[in-house]
Structure 1
């Protein structure tokens, strides 16, 4: 009579409960998780924020005549498509912060474009409420984005920008629209810088312009493959439930 090893028992019956406490190492050896490297979608996301914020801010400042509101709305539709694409790719790259933020921006651009283009009655007030809620969203995102300093800086500007835009929509006070437009142009400038800095980093393989990564985000840029795969089995898409 010969003894049966844990490995042999696992091959005969792959149920871990049958295999006993020694099953985990063999499950790791038998399991393959395929990762598909992709180019970073964040420069596209930041460039889209920059361009759309410039157009929307110019309308609020009066640099674009209010008679051209529908044309402005149509440009925001393209922002919705591009940022939705960035969000999907960021989810695929397992960056939940970037994916959630870009998805939120995509939804905001779509809502602004639809309401502005349709000229719906009470649309300004509805967008005002939405912008106030988006302010809370941006503040919460900023609270978890500190290790990504350039993204955090973008959110620090987005919070007052959407807060003032919300107050303008709800109250209708004219000067608040100008303040929101000026903050929108500042937001566009920071987003343009972030996009350019990330593109340079991708092209040269090192940080050229300040991005300000810290903590686990900085570690992820310099850790080896083993470090990146640590606890992979507990991440979304690998574990059984979200």
Structure 2
């Protein structure tokens, strides 16, 4: 007994599939079937920069001799929460699809933790270890300045942090008092720049427009001034949507 074909029975002819390379399964266009959900959040960057400012003031005052050396533990306890705060900022920045800000804040968070623990524990050769650590941060910062230029606010904070990391690193290795004082003074400069940046970004997020000059350019400027189509450009190629990182 032979089975009749659908065409012979008067049924609809099944649609023909386009030519597909052997060994590959045909898949329809997934764009009409795909939904990517985005969730607006308040910008975490003001919190990150305010944290940098406060931590830099405390450590700078210790280096300048405003606090006595016996206050090391108190300063360490004061700075320790900066680790958790900036780690939170980094987590939120990753969720907001800003890899530069997230990476920068995560590394800043990682810098507060060893500083606090070494100061609290009084570990042997702790200052020398922190000196090498700060020189490693200097290398990181130098690389980051190459990619943060469109975001002048981040770039400026990094630019003033570089000489401080250099002075702190050399002071820890050599023990030179003048380098320690220089690092403390530079810490206050970092605090001023970070404080301004945090305030400017907070006003921008509150009013949905730039109030104080921040110096955005290129993609960073379009991200604030562009329409929705600009925000969603190349979304299918971004981490979390594409198949691999």
CA RMSD of aligned residues (A): 1.5
Distance 1:156 1:196 in 2: 18
Other-structure match for 2:100: 97
Please state whether the residue corresponding to 2:146 is helix, strand or coil: helix
1:141-162 CA-partner distances (Å, limit 9, x unpaired): 1110000111111111011100
| Matching of residue 221 in structure 1 with residue 232 in structure 2 | no
| Conservation of the 8 A alpha-carbon contact between 2:157 and 2:190 | yes
Contact 2:222 2:230 in 1 (8 A): no
SS of residue paired to 1:144: coil
Q: Write out per-residue CA displacement over residues 179-223 of structure 1, whole angstroms, 9 at most, x where no aligned residue.
A: 000000000000000000011111122111010000011111122
Other structure's SS at 1:135 match? helix
Q: State the Cα deviation string for residues 67-107 of structure 1 (Å, max 9, x = none).
A: 01001001111100100000000000010000000000000
**2:76/2:116 contact within 8 Å kept:** yes
**Higher fraction of helix:** 1
The residue number in structure 2 matching 1:12 is none
Q: TM-score, normalised by structure 1?
A: 0.92
- Residue aligned with 1:18, SS: coil
Larger radius of gyration: 2
1:29 alignment partner in structure 2: 32
Q: Distance in 1 between matches of 2:232 and 2:14?
A: 35
- Map residues 122-133 of structure 1 onto 2, 5 A cutoff: 122-133=125-136
* Structure 2 Cα separation of the partners of residues 212 and 116 of structure 1: 37
Consecutive unaligned residues in structure 1, runs of 5 or more: 10-16
Question: TM-score when scaled to structure 2?
Answer: 0.91
